[in-house]
Structure 1
């Protein structure tokens, strides 16, 4: 791989390959015998902007479709449809896969390029089933034009279900909900609730619509009827004038932003009695880490015991409802104080409520070893968090990768 005078990798190289990039991860998976159990990754990503020219064809509004397509280039339509945030996710070019992923070669024949690329990193990490999310669209809830959020969400969901989910049973998704419009949100669940590979629905947390508004109740009821979980995927908003515009470093807005929005939505969800109103609707809180969960449990319980009259629909303490919710692992705070992490696991009932997630290919991704190597977890707890909890939550049929099946057969023959 060429190196520029600056010391950074040359983004024009053509030999980039995910399998080479993740060679050590694959060795780690082999050493730990991941083929012996199911691993479900509940939060990983692709870059939908790399297929945006295809997605634009699914926009129903002919004027918006034509306007977006008029912007040429690799990311055709992105300047018209997407809203961006400042940030330094690629660490100044040191995360090479950010700049080189578009150059990776894949077979020209079906399935879609995203299927080939996704399976490559899944096999390297030892992941059997993945829940795939978009990336730039995580900020679409902040778009000033609600009609654009609706149009792009519908187009993306149709493109994803027809071109990716329909062709690969190992790839699933919780589809994007255009939450700024309650009626469009409801219609999205109606249209896609029974589509192949759709295991739930996602609200991008960086937005300002209250989850307790009456206009969303019929959507929650429909999700409960379908048995589809509702997830809140975190992001950050550096333009937030209330808090985050006072920060001057990306590390600050990233550390706080990815927890802040989910904390607000979770708090509103509980204090407005939604767990009691929709007791069978499972909620998942994604990519916020774990350290904030004990804080919120204690803070809400303390307030609730002094002001129970403000939450008349609750029958238990807020922490009791939180312990029934689901959380994804990444980015798990691997601090020096391992006792703090162990206590966090205990407080949130991690053995049954925690779901492994890699967040691949983002800069702060986590390998399955972050769970597998924890000394305070039993073997069964590790297997639960890495796959069994997700299998039960989403009612998944276990599907193992061909590499795992081959490795398992080889071990059986040698035994």
Structure 2
């Protein structure tokens, strides 16, 4: 395990109320997580964070160096040279003018992780330093790291560019990030617009150390049940690698475009994209066709899952002819899938307890922080649930992920 970074650059004493800015050290922001470790004895748990993020746009010029196409590489270089404001956005579809995750500046660390990282010599060095700080502060043994804006590529107006960007990012991440920190793992994004490119991605990276599965960014318009994707699922099943569906926000689809508040769009869009894909996944019999393929639904919370179990079962019992591949009601397939915990909707103990019971949480739920996003959850969030026994907490915090991803303890 990599040694904890020295804390000599931090203040020894803190004021009772400390302002958090974009330059505040992650370890300061996560000071309460350290206290949780002591309170709940989390140092005795194996903790896997199945969903966290780094700010890949900080390293964007390095990422673009991995583009295969000389035309796209030159286009990106011209954008960065002639439009300085595009130096960390060239070819990307991220809309910075509509970024509202920082709650109008009230949670500034979401807007930028501008803290000092002395001694870093490249964007990758800085990325790894920031990841280590969060892992150590939250007592995390293994952290699955995803990009942030790259998760929007499913809505890129030029699918061939989206494919090229994902390929470049995957090559950069596996060559520059993973070798620097063995505790960091990833599920690499599939260029889902192109099924052949998905297969090529699996072939190129499936055996790479640190790659423990593959990811579909859920905000997209492609149906996951299309026959063109069946070879992709078959190959993942053959290799024993999970597939994950990572939700994301969208304020411009036919539903959220009618909403006048970011809160509204955030509440709905992170859920409905995975609801759509899960419905197509189950009703079209993908779990029957690929029973050995482990499927994970990421960053959608949990409240939607019992609703979908009831709703799909209800419809299935009335129209089984529409789902001829199914041999069981949809809810039974859903209980055999996996879900990440963040954001865990904890406003009513009884509702949350019923939700975890409905999904068989001790065997299906995996802890995720979603750090550094504004609504992140620390491991103490799971450890403090009053209706779970110690075995269930240990499974959710890391043991289920150990089995799903075939991890060795760090």
Q: TM-score, normalised by structure 2?
A: 0.91
Is it true that 1:331 corresponds to 2:343 in the alignment? yes
Contact 2:338 2:365 in 1 (8 A): yes
Contact 2:306 2:355 in 1 (8 A): yes
Contact 2:20 2:109 in 1 (8 A): no
| CA distance in 1 between partners of 2:46 and 2:392 (Å) | 13
Match 1:65 to one of 62, 67, 73:
73
- RMSD between superposed Cα atoms in Å: 1.8
Contact 2:245 2:298 in 1 (8 A): yes
The 3-state SS of whatever aligns with 1:91 is coil
Task: Report deviation, 1:106.
Answer: 3.5
Is it true that 1:24 corresponds to 2:43 in the alignment? no
Closer, same or farther in 2 for the Cα pair 1:74/1:126, shift >3 Å?
farther
Task: State the partner residue of 1:251.
Answer: 263
- In the TM superposition, what whole-angstrom CA distance separates every residue of 1:339-392 from its partner, at most 9, and x where no partner exists? 111111111010000000000000000011111001100000000000000001
Task: State the partner residue of 1:80.
Answer: 91
The 3-state SS of whatever aligns with 2:216 is strand
Unaligned runs of 5+ in 2: 1-9, 11-18
Task: State the partner residue of 2:382.
Answer: 371
Match 1:132 to one of 129, 145, 152:
145
Task: State the partner residue of 1:165.
Answer: 178
1:18-167 correspondence runs (5 A):
18-72=26-80, 73=84, 76-84=87-95, 86-108=98-120, 112-167=125-180
The 3-state SS of whatever aligns with 1:166 is helix
- In the TM superposition, what whole-angstrom CA distance separates every residue of 1:146-172 from its partner, at most 9, and x where no partner exists? 111111000000000011112211000
| CA distance in 2 between partners of 1:286 and 1:331 (Å) | 10
Is it true that 1:176 corresponds to 2:189 in the alignment? yes
Task: Report deviation, 1:79.
Answer: 4.1
| CA distance in 2 between partners of 1:71 and 1:103 (Å) | 27
Task: State the partner residue of 2:282.
Answer: 270
| CA distance in 1 between partners of 2:232 and 2:365 (Å) | 25
Contact 2:233 2:293 in 1 (8 A): yes
Contact 2:33 2:380 in 1 (8 A): no
| CA distance in 1 between partners of 2:230 and 2:331 (Å) | 23
| CA distance in 2 between partners of 1:299 and 1:102 (Å) | 45
Task: State the partner residue of 1:188.
Answer: 201
Contact 1:106 1:117 in 2 (8 A): no
1:194-213 correspondence runs (5 A):
194-213=207-226
The 3-state SS of whatever aligns with 2:104 is helix
The 3-state SS of whatever aligns with 1:92 is coil
Contact 1:53 1:75 in 2 (8 A): no
Match 2:246 to one of 228, 233, 241:
233
| CA distance in 1 between partners of 2:21 and 2:402 (Å) | 41
Task: Report deviation, 1:108.
Answer: 2.6
Is it true that 1:340 corresponds to 2:351 in the alignment? yes
The 3-state SS of whatever aligns with 2:186 is strand
The 3-state SS of whatever aligns with 1:43 is strand
Closer, same or farther in 2 for the Cα pair 1:36/1:77, shift >3 Å?
closer
Task: Report deviation, 1:93.
Answer: 1.2
Structure 1 segments (4+ residues) deviating >4 Å: 8-11
Closer, same or farther in 2 for the Cα pair 1:370/1:382, shift >3 Å?
same
| CA distance in 2 between partners of 1:101 and 1:117 (Å) | 8
- In the TM superposition, what whole-angstrom CA distance separates every residue of 1:7-30 from its partner, at most 9, and x where no partner exists? x9665x6xx322222222212212
Q: TM-score, normalised by structure 1?
A: 0.90
